[in-house]
Structure formats: structure tokens, C-alpha cells
Structure 1
């Protein structure tokens, strides 16, 4: 009779040991890249999406990006003159908070700044995010873009979508085989926290209101042994 897999005891000491080893590996890896590259940049991410972040990593194959373990990254840099890995590097740790990462590279600061400023990707909002747009669908026949373009240039939504739209809160009806609204329907407004119903409607009508952006925060110059912040525009 095979042994039961239920009530299996896991030794927590072994789990903790593995975690410490993982942290040490990351710290050593950061130190190696600090030795290899001239600059260490701190960047912050807005509207995180794994798909877009993978594209970003691909663009920096000759360099190295670390993201997701802020405390470990800060430990690798050092937080004071006593424990900083390189002279002056500890000052970079004060920028290590929030959704931030490290870029180790030999590219000049202006090149890095220009790249991140140009790397902006539109996406559909997710539930819990704050809306950056006000979107209202006009009364009458409902079209595929929800009124974003003139009706004569648009296409009415298929009649089979009526139950779905109604289930998402839109007061629709079928009339002569077309989906109609009695009155204008406000899906969302700027500054409102979106729920799943609203985000589904925004996606259905092709309204992108979320952006993946990367901001340069500060950088360390190993030759000058100093940290410089980026000035926000």
C-alpha cells in the first residue's frame, strides 16, 4: 500500500536555510555585476506588467536587471559607509523603496534616461486601479467602440452580446436585432477606483487606460564614487 502524502511534515529549518542561501546568491550576483559595470541605476516601475517587463529585459541583454527583492538589493549595496560594497554606493540605498529595481550597465546616464522615457506601453486597466479616463457610451445603438468614433464609421455590436452587456450593468435591450441603450451610460470617470465590471466593459470597448512606465530615480558612478539623483521634469 502506497504511503499517504497527507499530514506530511516539512522541516522549517531546512526551508529557512534555503532562503538564506538564495539571498546570499543574489547578493553575490549583484556584487559581481557591480564589479563588471560602471553604473548602477535605480528605476521605479508604474503599472507593472510581466509581459512588458520581459521586453524591457530583452532590450538590456548586455547589462543586468534585478527586480522584486528590494531589501536584498539594498543589502547588496550597503546602507552606510561601514557596510557599503563600494565607496559612496551606500547613498543609493535611500532610493530603494517601493516598486524599484537595479540596472547594472556601462551605458551613459542620458542613454538610460532616454530609453526609459520612451518605453511606455498602453494596457487595459485592472480592478482596483484608479481610472485615468472618463468613458460614457451614448444612447441609441451600441457600437463596438462605444462612441469613440462616429457611428457611421463604426460597427454595431453583435446582438448575442446583449445579455453580457446587461449582466455588466448596462441597461440594454434588443430592438430590431440591434443592441440599444435608452440613455447614455457612464462606465467610469477619472479618479474613480475601478471594479471588475468596469474593467471588463473598458476592455470590451477597447479602452486602454493603464500605462506601463519606467522612471529613472538615481544612479551610482563607480569611477567618481558618487550617487546622483535624476531630477523630475
Structure 2
């Protein structure tokens, strides 16, 4: 009897989880960074894009290290309370590791870092699941900004369109997204067609720790 195609052997290496050694390695890296760098910032980000954060890394590549990781593992590295904190005050840093955040270890001046991130705001296209900051509506009539060839794609995304003498027309008013509501996958694609950038990549500094002065939470 021929073997069923469903009876396939699946290598466990394809679903390999982070090992204990990997976590312990991160702990050691973070503690080494505490020894090497005098300043630590806790940061959180909005509308994260890997390509955007590359710019940040390039800016500070000569004097800083950035870490993303499991918040609990990073907290273990720093110490969760006064009895096991790796350096004085780091347990307070651990308590701020919530949500999408990371640690920046740096030799850079505190005010320079704060100033850089305060000004770092980069508009980008909103992803599905993001709450729309405003309502975008299109009026019935020609959409001359589009090439006629994309009309089938727009119609597939739910837009009431038709070609009239080679020009795409909306056959009725159309609301792309609504302020305060989550953007759907189709709406995100339409916004990209319209070149409407409703998201802003931004890094927010939550706190600053220095070996001599301790921790200070930042607004």
C-alpha cells in the first residue's frame, strides 16, 4: 500500500525554540553592557519598522548597543529587586520593561540622546490593526492619479470603481477608513495606493539610568 503524502516526517529543527543557553547568553551580554557603558535608556516604540530602526542603529553605531528581547529575561539580567540587581538602581529599570520596549546602552551624552529621539518622527503607511487617526473619504468621480491598469485591484479591495474612457472613476462616495476604528487589511492597501501615510514611527524614551546618578524617569 503506497504511503500517504500526509505521513511526512517533520524535522523539529524547523520549530526550534530559544534554548536556555540562548537566554543565559542574553543575560550575560546585558550584564557585560552594564559594565561597559555608563548610560542606559529604556525605550518603547510606536509603529515599529525594522528599516526605520536601522537608521537609529547607524546613528549610534560607534558608541552604543541596542537590545530587544523577552522583557522577563532582560529583567533577570538587570535584577528584579534590590537583593539581586546587577548594579544599584537597575531593579527600578526592570520594572519599566513592559510592552514593546528595549534597552539602549551608550557612551553618548544624555541630552544628545534625548534630543535625537524627541525629533525622530517618520511618517509611514499604516498597517492593518492600527487605529485610524483620521477619516479618509473619496468623492464620486474620476481618480486621475491612478493608472487605468490598477482598476481591477481597487475594485477587488472593495472600491466602487469603473473605467470611463480609460480613466478610473468612483461610482459613488467611498470612505476608506474611519477615525478611531481599526484599519482593515484592505483599507491599509488602499491607503498605500493613495500614498496616505497615517502612521508615525517614533521612539519614546521612558527612563534613563546612570552608574553615578541612578535612574530618572523621562516624560
Q: Which runs of 5+ in 2 are unaligned?
A: 1-7
SS at match of 1:92: helix
The C-alpha deviation readout for 1:40-71, integer Å capped at 9, x for no partner, is: 11000111111111221121112111013211
Is residue 77–residue 86 contact of structure 2 (8 Å, CA) maintained in 1? yes
Please show how residues 24-63 of structure 1 align to structure 2 within 5 Å: 24-61=24-61, 62-63=63-64
Q: Distance in 2 between matches of 1:137 and 1:44?
A: 35
Aligned residues: 210
RMSD, aligned CA: 2.0
CA distance in 2, matches of 1:20, 1:223: 33
Separation of aligned partners in 1, 2:109 and 2:39: 8
What TM-score do the two structures reach when normalised by structure 1?
A: 0.83
Tell me, yes or no, if the aligned pair for 2:144 and 2:167 is still in contact at 8 Å: no
The CA deviation at 1:10 is: 5.4
Distance 2:207 2:181 in 1: 32
Contact 1:79–1:93, Cα closer than 8 Å, also in 2: yes
Q: Which residue of 1 aligns with 2:105?
A: 104
What does 1:87-102 correspond to in 2, within 5 Å?
87-102=88-103
**Tell me, what secondary structure is at the counterpart of 1:71?**
helix
Shift in Å, 1:221: 1.2
Tell me which stretches of 4 or more aligned residues in structure 1 moved more than 4 Å.
8-11
The TM-score normalised by the length of structure 2 is 0.88
Contact 1:68/1:99 (CA < 8 Å) preserved in 2?
Answer: no
1:171 and 2:160 equivalent? yes
* Per-residue deviation, 1:31: 1.0
